[in-house]
């Protein structure tokens, strides 16, 4: 397909670390490799991460000076992003905006504003939300508003797609999608493209010492949603049932204290090892210690940690929640219901499989390698882009109609926002005319960069060798 100029918009990006951040980076890198031009727009991290930065391989990142409210998310304010976005989209000649994460108000705003400049929109949802708590109700409403303006949606799992369709406010009379919903539901824009991982980074270790110890690795944020209560309840029972089992637990969080208390109470200091926070670059080395990976999460939209563990050759035991059952074939993972007794049953099964040698780490690695890779993800995303670019854009009237369908009150509020946004855009066109914008004339060229880099290093080597020879002659030192 023709090279596109894509702007990834998300509140969550490097220097923060996490699943969404990594997804955006890997996808952008792969799209650049495929000949597209990608920029990332995110909020700044004062004092030092501000302005425009370049990240390898030629990814330009705009850090917009917006303050954050909580967990690196900005306040949804609908209009303040427009001046920045307009300048960036125009000067970079962007043709497609790709927003990420439903808690990112920057992404929502990007989708709201993009149509002024004739830019098409795609949105990726990475998480699952319920419907019954105040926070979910509010964020789901915002998502509903954003998604009625979007041209394409990508979800990371089938369960995630079902969840996002419901959160976008579509209600079906019957359980089947073919039956009409109250609002017009266009099934062609809803895609499922899974995450991927860099399989080379998670190679199984081969030089494991042959003894009968079975090491169980747990790597997660130690929070309620990750099911640490289940871990606290089951770990002592498993240690009692299987004296040859050792737990290695990595991560930090509010539930750490519960784990420490449990270890103290049952005197399991030599069977349960707490590693504290583990950096993403050290994940492999922790995974390499074990042969079983235990995930007790209570909700999970994709479960990249499970995949990383499976790729590193570990047998996986996980709770059957969210999108987890879709991620791996049944012979690589044991499922448990989120109940204490069932987790113990699944763990006993896994310990038996592993200690009998029925799980081959190398073949598991090869299989995961064949399932997931970023090139595949980028290719499938490209298809979504192509579909969006070929579709007919919505007219403003159509947008207003779709916003009105959101509901008697909420729809009206969104129509007002949309119309005010149009006026705001016209004011910007007048005060900051397009011809005054500083357009980007030169793009990143990898070959040129490599050439320059090679020349520079050669020059530096020459200089240093000259200096060395001068030094050995007893010449003048120091610059």
Partner 1 sequence: MSSREWEKVLWKKHPYPDNYIPHTFLSSLRKNTNFKPYTYWPLVLAACSITQHLSTVFIFLATFIRIYDGSWDPRYLVWSSVAIFLLGYVIWEVLEYKTLGYLVKHADRAKTFKSSILVFLALMALSPVLRTLTAATSSDSIWALAACLFILNVLLADYGSLRPYGHTRDRLTSVLSMNAAISSSVVLASRLRDDLSVFALILFSVQLFALYPLVRTRLQVTDAFTYASITIFLPALSIYLHSSPTNIITLILGIVLVFITFVAPALLLWAQSYKNEIRGPWDVAVPQINTADH
- Asked whether the beta carbons of 89 and 109 are under 8 A apart, the reply is no
List the interface residues with partner 1, window 154-183 (CB under 8 A): 154, 157-160, 162-163, 165-166, 171-172, 175-178
**Binding residue (CB under 8 A) for partner 1 from 10, 32, 287, 384:** 384
Q: Which CB atom, from 337 or from 454, has the smaller least distance to partner 1?
A: 337
Q: Which CB atom, from 53 or from 141, has the smaller least distance to partner 1?
A: 141
Q: Considering the complex, what minimum distance in angstroms separates the CB of residue 192 from partner 1?
A: 6
* HSE-up of residue 303 (Cα within 13 Å, Cβ side): 32
Does 388 contact partner 1 by CB under 8 A? Answer: no
**Binding residue (CB under 8 A) for partner 1 from 182, 201, 225, 470:** 225
Binding-residue total with partner 1 (CB under 8 A):
57
| Tokens 């979910």 found at | 136
What does the block give as tokens for 133? 């708590």
**Hey, what long-range contacts does 386-391 have (CB within 8 A, 24 or more apart)?**
386/1, 387/152, 387/188, 388/96, 388/120, 388/121, 388/122, 388/151, 388/152, 388/189, 389/4, 389/95, 389/96, 389/120, 391/120, 391/151
Does 329 contact partner 1 by CB under 8 A? Answer: yes
Q: Considering the complex, what minimum distance in angstroms separates the CB of residue 129 from partner 1?
A: 7
- How crowded is residue 101: how many other Cβ atoms within 10 Å of its Cβ? 26
Q: Supply φ then ψ for residue 378, to 5 degrees.
A: -65, -40
Q: Considering the complex, what minimum distance in angstroms separates the CB of residue 284 from partner 1?
A: 21
Does 323 contact partner 1 by CB under 8 A? Answer: yes
List the interface residues with partner 1, window 363-382 (CB under 8 A): 371-372, 380
Q: In what order do the strands lie in the sheet with 5-9?
A: 51-55, 59-64, 37-43, 5-9, 96-100, 120-125, 152-155, 190-192
Q: Considering the complex, what minimum distance in angstroms separates the CB of residue 272 from partner 1?
A: 17
How far apart (Å, rounded) are the C-alpha atoms in residues 28 and 38?
A: 6
Q: Which CB atom, from 16 or from 181, has the smaller least distance to partner 1?
A: 181
What does the block give as tokens for 237? 């029972």
Q: Which CB atom, from 83 or from 338, has the smaller least distance to partner 1?
A: 338
Per-residue binder mask for partner 1 (CB under 8 A), 111-130, x = binder: -----------------xxx
Q: Considering the complex, what minimum distance in angstroms separates the CB of residue 292 from partner 1?
A: 20
- Asked whether the beta carbons of 317 and 333 are under 8 A apart, the reply is yes
Residues that bind partner 1 (CB under 8 A): 128-132, 154, 157-160, 162-163, 165-166, 171-172, 175-178, 187-194, 225, 227, 229-230, 233, 296, 298-299, 301, 319, 321-323, 325-329, 337-341, 371-372, 380, 383-384, 387
């Amino acid at each position: 397909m023709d090279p596109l100029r894509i702007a990834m918009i998300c509140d969550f990006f490097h220097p923060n670390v996490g699943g969404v951040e990594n997804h955006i980076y890997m996808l952008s890198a792969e799209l650049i490799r495929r000949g597209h031009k990608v920029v990332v727009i995110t909020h700044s991290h004062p004092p030092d991460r501000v302005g425009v930065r370049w990240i390898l391989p030629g990814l330009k990142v705009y850090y917009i000076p917006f303050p954050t409210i909580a967990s690196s998310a900005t306040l949804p304010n609908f209009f303040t992003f427009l001046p920045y976005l307009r300048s960036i989209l125009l000067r970079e000649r962007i043709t497609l905006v790709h927003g990420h994460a439903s808690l990112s108000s920057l992404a929502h705003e990007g989708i709201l504003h993009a149509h002024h400049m004739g830019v098409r929109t795609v949105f990726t949802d990475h998480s699952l939300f319920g419907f019954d708590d105040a926070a979910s109700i509010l964020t789901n409403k915002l998502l509903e508003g954003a998604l009625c303006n979007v041209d394409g949606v990508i979800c990371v799992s089938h369960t995630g797609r079902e969840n996002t369709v419901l959160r976008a406010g579509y209600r079906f009379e019957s359980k089947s999608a073919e039956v009409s919903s109250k609002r017009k539901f266009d099934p062609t824009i809803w895609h499922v493209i899974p995450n991927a991982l860099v399989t080379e980074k998670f190679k199984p270790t081969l030089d494991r010492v042959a003894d009968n110890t079975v090491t169980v690795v747990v790597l997660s944020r130690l929070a309620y949603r990750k099911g640490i209560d289940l871990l606290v309840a089951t770990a002592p029972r498993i240690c009692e049932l299987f004296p040859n089992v050792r737990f290695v637990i990595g991560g930090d969080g509010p539930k750490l204290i519960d784990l420490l208390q449990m270890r103290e109470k049952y005197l399991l200091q030599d069977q349960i090892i707490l590693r504290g926070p583990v950096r993403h670059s050290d994940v492999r080395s922790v995974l390499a210690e074990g042969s079983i990976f235990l995930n007790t999460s209570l909700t999970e939209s994709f479960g990249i940690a499970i995949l990383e563990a499976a790729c590193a050759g570990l047998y996986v035991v996980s709770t059957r929640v969210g999108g987890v059952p879709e991620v791996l074939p049944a012979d690589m993972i044991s499922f448990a219901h989120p109940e204490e007794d069932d987790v113990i049953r699944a763990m006993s099964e896994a310990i038996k499989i592993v200690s009998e040698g029925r799980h081959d780490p190398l073949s598991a690695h090869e299989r995961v390698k064949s399932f997931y890779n970023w090139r595949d993800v980028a290719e499938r995303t490209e298809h979504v882009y192509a579909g969006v670019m070929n579709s007919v854009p919505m007219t403003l009237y159509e947008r207003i109609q779709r916003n009105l369908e959101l509901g008697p009150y909420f729809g009206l509020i969104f129509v007002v926002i949309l119309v005010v946004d149009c006026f705001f855009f016209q004011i910007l066109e007048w005060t900051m005319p397009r011809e005054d914008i500083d357009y980007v004339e030169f793009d990143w060229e990898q070959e040129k960069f490599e050439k320059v880099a090679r020349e520079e290093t050669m020059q530096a080597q020459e200089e240093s060798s000259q200096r060395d020879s001068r030094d050995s002659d007893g010449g003048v030192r120091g610059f």
